[in-house]
A and B are shown apart, each in its own frame.
Chain A
Amino acid sequence: MADPAVELREVSKAFGGDRPALSKVSLQIGSGETVVLLGSSGSGKTTTLKTINRLVTPDSGEILVRGKSVGSWDPIDLRRQTGYVIQEVGLLPHLSVEDNIGLVPRLLGWTEQKRRERTLELLELVSLAPEAFAHKRPFELSGGQRQRVGVARALAADPPLLLMDEPFGALDPINRRKLQDEFRELRDRLNKTIVFVTHDVPEALRLAHRIGVMHEGKLLQLDSPRTVLERPADAFVRDLVRLDTKEAVLGS
């Protein structure tokens, strides 16, 4: 791959305990590509994600973002140029929707006028009427609306890279499906490099350009959804993406 946007080289991490959280994970993510890390809890998918914005420092190995080792990035700069969406709790409960979305631009020193314009634009983008939602506080929103605000906030400073950690995990199936469809549309329109973490197989199949299946700290397979379904790397991957899933997704 020429000039990957994100590259991990034999990244390992142990938090103590019996086995390492990550062992020798290597992967390359192309610019504009969406890679979904799929695995059960404890598989190391979230830890992998957090090594990319330096919330976790690996014990060994190297992580490159746009060709530069994350160790040599200023962590604050790196994070401000990386959108980060997490499940449910990511919004600051004491700030309005508008202030939440404008937070990173504010840290970057944008003028109030520019922040405001950007916030309104983003609310439109994630299908929330600005006049109805800008002044609401997170607790006044439904789960789906909160997640939309979370996505809008991550996009605020127009970062080339987005990290999403189970962003739709707390939603009911209907809303989840709706946000997934919107996500696909945004993905194709915005051309961001996205690393997306989930434990939900249909979600991974729906959203990924490539799926990285993780188990016990290892990356078992990194391939397109079709390849993962049709030629699973081993018995674990095959069992994970069971036949019924295949029918549910490819049949629809």
Chain B
Amino acid sequence: MEILQFFVERHDEILSKTWQHLQLVGLSMFIAIFVGVPLGLLLTRKEKLAPPLLGFANAVQTIPSLALFGFLIPIPIIGGIGMRSATIALVLYALLPILRNTYTGIRSVDPAVVEAGKGMGMTDIQRLRWIEVPLALPTVIAGVRIATVLTVGLATIASAIGAGGLGDFIFRGITMVDSRFILAGALPAAILAIALDALLGRAEKRWVMS
């Protein structure tokens, strides 16, 4: 009850931090999809690039997030404190699931179907547009789902370099040893992750059905 009261008292701040958090996640995901999907398609056409690029994306994932945010602070132009460098770090983390799922999604399309398209006289671009992308789309969306949930969680840590968002509550809670603040950050973040995941899950299902 005490917690509920706390939430009611602070609802303005909680809502604005949630909104800030959502913006951070939204912007990062937008860029990650915009970069990751075309890059994944490119890798299916230039197979030689796949091992180094997927390896790089894999390596980024192994860097502890707090360390990556820290590394970005002294870097000029792209780095520093605040939303910009946080976005860059979040994009780097979200890239791997999107890149990998796009690449494997396209590669796992039945080669017989692709050859049938070729036999019908489709150009490479037409095969991509009519066969490979639509058939790989559920896998691509699954990658975006994973990346989104990941990013909602990671974005709380971005507060450490001044990016704002729900992480502000959590860090405040830790410093003040006040679990109410921690919950004020963690609970909306969890709800956000579940809600976005469900939303994308519906998009995925709708695509499979139609």
Contact = CB atoms under 8 A, between A and B. Distances in A.
A77 interface: yes
Interface of A: 53, 55, 75-82, 84, 86, 89-94, 103-104, 107, 153, 163
A89 B118 contact: no
B121 A76 contact: yes
A90 B118 contact: no
A76 B123 contact: yes
Interface of B: 110, 112-113, 115-123, 126, 130-131, 134-135
Contact of A79 (B113, B119, B130, B131): B119
A86 B119 CA distance: 10
Contacts of A86: 112, 115-116, 119
Given A92-B131, A94-B134, A107 B120 contact: yes
Contacts of A75: 121
A79 B135 contact: no
Given A75-B121, A79-B119, A90-B116, 11 more contacts: A55-B118, A78-B121, A79-B118, A86-B116, A89-B112, A89-B113, A92-B117, A92-B131, A104-B121, A107-B121, A163-B119
11 contacts: A55-B115, A55-B119, A75-B121, A76-B122, A80-B120, A84-B120, A86-B119, A92-B113, A103-B130, A104-B121, A163-B119
A92 B122 CA distance: 13
A103 B110 CA distance: 18
B121 A79 contact: yes
